[in-house]
Amino acid sequence: MSWFKRESDSPAAPASGLSAEKSVRTEGLWIKCPGCRSVIWKAELEANLNVCPKCQHHFKLGARQRIDLLLEPGYELVDTTLCSTDPLTFTDLKPYTARLRKAQEQTGLNDAILSAVGKLGPHDVVVCAMEYSFIGGSMGSVVGETIARAVDRARESRKPLIVVAASGGARMMEGISSLMQMAKISTALAQLDDAKVPYICLLTDPTTGGVTASFAMLGDLNIAEPGALICFAGPRVIEQTIRQKLPEGFQRSEFLLEKGFLDAVVHRRELKNYLVRALEFLQPPARNQ
């Protein structure tokens, strides 16, 4: 007999005398902020763009939420059928194929990225948003190919490119196939720069490893959300290597802005308007036909 929940086959009514239909379920309606430890009503948090109303801690957003936040309704998702393979037949605690299958079931995505074409305010843009809940947003061959295609699409259509980075770095399960995406995307971005098409990168918490070492820091404008961890090697690795305590806030977006690695730190509620103004500055005027 369970003291805390009624067995599913038990016919007895609740002790309070209320019917099961009238009982109130509160599980999942509240969430604790990791910043100030306040308990927040989930609906209130979502209405505030998943930013804590008390301490302004920015909770993680999924790739689809990011695109919904930035683009006007009616945008088009592209390159959604690409799927990772298992070139190394990789196995650690479980086979790589099993990790992929589980991540796909949990997120509803084929891999750790979504790409879309649509409007950001009055501007036609190409957007890529990374999904951190898919194997830590790691960059494998599908992430690299999707971003490379987005770069090509932006260059050919002369639409600005916006990438929202959220990643633990290169996906070790794909070995060199993952690492080569760094050079692949960087080369495509060099061609985009030659074509004078704007590229903006938004770095969110966390953006680390090979993603930071390649396309995440190559934007014409590099901006970040408040409090985002942005680095190649994390602070714990560095402290263990150099045997020294790091400064307060080291590798957070505000620290990087102070040191000149970022152009701006932008609150989520101001992000869309900020990007619209930035594109007005970066996008060259249309050529007369």
Look at residue 25 in the predicted model and tell me its pLDDT. Answer: 57
Q: For residues 169 and 67, what is the distance between their CA atoms, to the nearest angstrom?
A: 21
Q: Is the dihedral of CA 55, 235, 208, 222 positive or negative?
A: positive
Residue 181 above 90 pLDDT?
yes
Residue 289 above 50 pLDDT?
no
Q: Which residue has the higher pLDDT, 15 or 257?
A: 257
Q: Which CATH number is correct for 60-288, 3.40.50.720, 3.30.390.10, 3.90.226.10, 3.40.718.10?
A: 3.90.226.10
Model confidence at 283, pLDDT cuts 50, 70, 90, reads confident
Residue 226 above 50 pLDDT?
yes
Compute CA 45 distance to the chain's CA centroid, rounded to the nearest angstrom: 18
Residue 282 above 60 pLDDT?
yes
Residue 286, Cβ density class (10 Å: 0-12 exposed, 13-18 middle, ≥19 buried)? exposed
Model confidence at 260, pLDDT cuts 50, 70, 90, reads very high
Q: Mind listing the pLDDT tens digit for each residue in 43-73?
A: 999 999 999 999 999 999 999 999 999 999 9
**Contact by Cβ (8 Å): 204, 164:** yes
**DSSP run (H or E) holding 146:** helix 141-157
- Please give the share of the chain, as a percent, with pLDDT higher than 70: 89
Residue 8 above 50 pLDDT?
no
Q: In sequence order, what are the beta bridge partners of 117?
A: 76, 126
Residue 24 above 80 pLDDT?
no
b/e 224-252 (16+ beta carbons within 10 angstroms → b): bbbbbbbbeebeeeeeeeeeeeeeeeebb
Model confidence at 28, pLDDT cuts 50, 70, 90, reads confident
Place of tokens 């060099």: 190
Place of tokens 């649509």: 118
Look at residue 12 in the predicted model and tell me its pLDDT. Answer: 44
> Mean pLDDT, the chain, as a whole number?
91
Q: Mind listing the pLDDT tens digit for each residue in 186-213?
A: 999 999 999 999 999 999 999 999 999 9
- Beta-carbon contacts of residue 98 (< 8 Å; ≥ 6 apart): none
Q: Mind listing the pLDDT tens digit for each residue in 112-145?
A: 999 999 999 999 999 999 999 999 999 999 999 9
Question: Hey, where are the domains in the chain?
Answer: 60-288
| Mean pLDDT, rounded, for 158-183 | 96
